[in-house]
Amino acid sequence: MGTAQQDTERRLIGVVLPVGALRGAGSMGVGEFPDLIAFGHLCKKMRVGLIQILPVNDTGYESSPYSALTAFALHPIYLRIADMPEAQDPQWQKRIAAITLRFEHEARFNHYEVMKAKLELLHEIFAANEAAICASAQDGGGLAAWIAANAWVKEYAVYRRLKQANQERSWREWDTTRTVTHAELAALWDDADLKAEHLFWTWIQKALDEQFSAAAASLKSDGIVLEGDLPILINDDSCDAWAHPDYFHLELSAGAPPDMYSPEGQNWGFPTYNWDALEKENYVWWRDRLKVAAKYYAAYRIDHVLGFFRIWATARTEKDTNSLLGRYIPYTAITKQDLVMRGFDADRIRWLSYPHVPTSEVLDSLKHDGCLSKDDIQYEANRAFTLALDRIDNEELWLFKDSIKGERDIDALQLHPAVKKYLLDVWKNRLFLQYEDGHYFPTWKYRESRAYQSLSDSEREAIEQLLAEKKCESEKAWEKLGEKLLSILAESSEMLPCAEDLGEVPDCVPRVLTKLRILGLRVVRWYRWWDKEGQPYIPLEDYPELSVCTPAVHDSSTLREWWEREAEKEVLTNFIGQPFLPPVYNPGVAKIILHQVAGAASRFRVFQIQDLLHLSQKWYAQDPATERINVPGTYNSFNWTYRLPATIDELAKDEIFVKGVEELATIPPLEKKKVAIGEKNEDTNTTSRV
Q: pLDDT category, 262, cuts 50, 70, 90?
A: confident
What are the pLDDT digits (tens) for 61-75?
Answer: 999 999 999 999 999
Give the pairing type, strands 520-523 and 604-608.
unpaired
Residue 6 has pLDDT above 80, yes or no: no
Length of the chain in terms of residues written: 690
The CB density around residue 533, as the number of other CB atoms within 10 Å, is: 6
Question: Distance (Å, rounded) from C-alpha 203 to C-alpha 196?
Answer: 10
3-state secondary structure of 674: coil
Distances (CA, A) of 462 to 192, 343, 356, 455, 459: 67, 9, 22, 10, 5
The pLDDT of residue 682: 40
- Give the mean pLDDT of 346-375: 93
Q: pLDDT-based confidence at 129, cuts 50/70/90?
A: very high
409-446 pLDDT, tens digit each: 999 999 999 999 999 999 999 999 999 999 999 999 99
pLDDT value of position 684: 39
Out of 3.20.20.80, 3.40.50.10540, 3.30.450.20, 3.60.15.10, the CATH code matching 20-223 is: 3.20.20.80
* Contact between 443 and 428 (Cβ < 8 Å): yes
Q: CB atoms < 10 A from the CB of 228, how many?
A: 23
Chain-centre distance of CA 611, in angstroms?
Answer: 22
Is the bond into 245 cis (omega within 30 degrees of 0)? no
Provide the residue ranges of all domains of the chain, joining segments of one domain with +: 20-223, 327-470
Measured CA to CA, the distance from residue 263 to residue 379 in angstroms comes to: 35
Average pLDDT, the chain: 93
Mean pLDDT computed over 176-194: 96
Please check the confidence at residue 168 and state whether its pLDDT lies above 70: yes
33-46: b (≥16 Cβ within 10 Å) or e: bbbbbbbbbbbeeb
Q: What is the mean pLDDT of residues 587-605?
A: 96
Residue 683 pLDDT level (bands cut at 50, 70, 90): very low
Based on the number of CB atoms within 10 Å of its own CB, is 383 exposed (0-12), middle (13-18) or buried (19 or more)?
middle
Q: At what angle do helices 111-128 and 195-221 cross, to 10 degrees?
A: 110
Q: How confident is the model at residue 674 (pLDDT cuts 50, 70, 90)?
A: low
At what angle are helices 142-149 and 195-221 packed, to 10 degrees? 80
Region 652-660 average pLDDT:
98
- pLDDT, residue 2, reads 42
Average pLDDT over residues 303-309: 95
Query: What is the structure's pLDDT at 5?
Result: 44
For the beta carbon of residue 335, count every other beta carbon within 10 angstroms. 13
pLDDT digits (tens, 9 = 90+) for 525-567: 999 998 898 889 999 999 999 999 999 999 999 999 999 999 8
Compute the average pLDDT of residues 104-124. Answer: 97
Residue 311, helix vs strand vs coil: strand
Work out the pLDDT band at 4, boundaries 50, 70, 90.
very low
Please state which of the ranges 15-19, 245-249, 344-348, 366-370 shows the lowest mean pLDDT: 366-370
| For range 575-587, the mean pLDDT | 87
* pLDDT 10s digits, 12-21: 999 999 999 9
- Give the burial class of 497: count Cβ atoms within 10 A of its Cβ; 0-12 exposed, 13-18 middle, 19 or more buried: buried
Alpha-carbon distances of 95 from 33, 100, 120, 235, 482, rounded to whole Å: 20, 9, 11, 34, 51
- In this prediction, residues 616-621 reach a mean pLDDT of 97
CA distance 510 to 306: 10
CB atoms within 10 A of CB 10: 12
Residue type, 182: H
Average pLDDT over every residue of 450-476: 97
